[in-house]
Amino acid sequence: MNPFLSEYNTPFDVPPFGEIENSHFLPAIKFGINAQKSEIEAIVSNNAPATFNNTIEALDASGKVLRQVTNVFSNLQSAHTNDELQKIAKDAAPLISKHQDDIMLNEALFDRIAGVYKKKDDLQLSIEQQTLLDKTYKRFARNGAALNHADKVKLRKVNEELSLLWLEFDENILAETNSYQLIIENESDLAGLPVSVINGASDAATEAGYQNKWMFTLNKPSLIPFLQYAENRELRKAIFEAYTNRGNNDNARDNKKIVARMASLRVERAMLLGYPTHADYVLEVNMAKQPENVYSFLDEILEPARVMAKKEAVELQKMIDDEGGSFNLQPWDWWYYAEKLKIQKYDLDEEQLRPYFELENVLNGMLEVANNLYGLGFKELNDVPEYHEEVRTFEVLESDGTHIGILYMDFYPRASKGGGAWMTSYRKQYKEDGKNVAPVISMVMNFSKPTGGKPALLSFDEVSTMFHEFGHALHGLLSDCNYISLSGTSVPRDFVELPSQIMENWAGEPEVMKNYAKHYETGAPIPDELIEKIKNASKFNQGFVTLEYLSACYLDMDWHTLNTTTEQNTLDFENASMANIQMIPEIVVRYRSPYFSHIFAGGYSSGYYSYLWAEILDADAFEAFKENGIFNRETAKAFREQILEKGGTEDPMVLYKNFRGREPQKDAMLKRKGLM
């Protein structure tokens, strides 16, 4: 019995993970494709004139089975994959690509959509209905519905090839990340590393079958502390270069040709659709609208960031010289000497903080923030199917006990999981036959694991990441939309980071820290002096952080403002991009092209700038909370109703102004970064 082909018989209708086998996916995908084909055919063959209800709403509601199975499949691909799933993905990708093209390029369907669109001013639609109609029409027009037959054939080929390249790129990065192991046999090579990091490396080595050794990997909880604390410069260089050369080793997992081919195909697709570049195509529906606006935005911040980064490099070089070093600062030195300088300047060592950031305490404090803001309750469940034994599940409730949705949390790295952190949906919120369909949301992270008999102790960066992904989760959970294609995080890419990034602000607020930052052994709250040190150090190293990030934004935009289908030499192109912004040699671009998953295996092509764009929004929006009190219920109610509940039902600038009373201003962000 294929569990995807019947109603789930599970608590809250979550996926029945214990019943799902790999062999179920491909048949269910094929069944779902055929089911949606029948639904589309019913829309097209309807003899009644096209209306909003029988065409636009019917289209939005179609594909339920396919959506159900692909949501589970794609999420397992990211969070708990295996060789068989990866093979199935390669078989499924062309089928799904063809099916999506069959819908988007269906002339009869587009004629009905266009017929409704032409009458839109006479239909007396609600704002949400107007938005659905407008986005549906533009989605079809932007995806080739008006092309001639020959160009539609070309477009199908491009889309199919891109879907396969996307998968291959992602698989290569996961394999490259998992294949690297830095095995240390001499204890002297651990000099400088904190005990907690050494214990973690010992546990990792033992787990991998190495006795009396220490193992470091390219997962961030292992990599970053090694770069920050290891005194052995050659080993720092080795692990840094292994990380920055993922996908660039001229082996079977090399991504350079994939990058060049994807960039070329994206140009070809953009031109087929009537756009000069891929960036023009993508940005048309974002807040930024045009590539020129993104470049102007980045240019405003580039110079002050570069000036600050150069000053920071001089300080770090002075520290090297003062210690008697006879070498110039290199990228694998930056984390190490920056950490030493921070301790010297602010008497703040990240390892001083970890004992106060036990994962369980941080989690409880974060959930209490949501309770204080929105009255939400979180009940941990132990009888709900989960896709991995480490996953934890919560029922999210209104203050009156009304069910809102289900939230999975998946905290630790493993070989079957991609790197980084993200929020995703197993089921988005929408309304069906007047009844609310509750969302099933997941937060996936890669945090420091429990080690050496101690619980999971996080860095402050990991704490911020948890709050960040929780902000995305709230966007999905608190959605109150009628249509699935508009609900939750279905918003422009440069708006979607507002709900996530604003949550990071509460992580660092003293009154919030006092609540969740408690010593894991004594239970004592974090001392005021440590909170003050965190605040004082908040602008430290911001030249590095901002320039490293900006360089990736420029690289993304440069790849996607290409106006030729000629395939580029990936490394030459990247070097030229960095030279163009006068990137300083002591810093490497945050994501080099061969492992820039955000833009080559994710949805951020021509959109990586969005994180910084959203920083303007989140810093400005948080000012409203600070003006009225960070737990002011009226301000929180306005943010929930105007931002979190609305999804993509209105223009994002309209939503923002409805909340803030005006357009966002840059001042708060620039001050926060020390760039003003």
Catalytic residues: 469
* Residue 520 contacts residue 355 (beta carbons within 8 Å): yes
Burial 532-547 (b: 16+ CB within 10 A, else e): ebbeebeebbbbbbbb
CB neighbourhood size of 51 (10 A): 16
Q: Within its chain, how far is the Cα of 177 from the centroid? A: 18
DSSP structure string for 470-483: HHHHHHHHS---S-
Q: What six digits make up the tokens of 563?
A: 């106006």
* Residue 561 contacts residue 277 (beta carbons within 8 Å): yes
Q: How far apart are CA 23 and CA 25, in angstroms?
A: 6
Q: How far apart are CA 187 and CA 265, in angstroms?
A: 50
Q: What six digits make up the tokens of 554?
A: 């420029």
Q: In which element (H, E) is residue 84 found?
A: helix 83-104
Q: How far apart are CA 519 and CA 522, in angstroms?
A: 5
Q: How far apart are CA 77 and CA 171, in angstroms?
A: 10
CB neighbourhood size of 676 (10 A): 11
CB neighbourhood size of 338 (10 A): 20
CB neighbourhood size of 436 (10 A): 17
Q: How far apart are CA 8 and CA 5, in angstroms?
A: 9
Q: How far apart are CA 609 and CA 288, in angstroms?
A: 10
H-type helices in 119-148, by residue range?
127-142
Q: How far apart are CA 284 and CA 292, in angstroms?
A: 12
Q: Is 141 helix (H, G, I), strand (E, B) or coil?
A: helix
Q: How far apart are CA 363 and CA 353, in angstroms?
A: 16
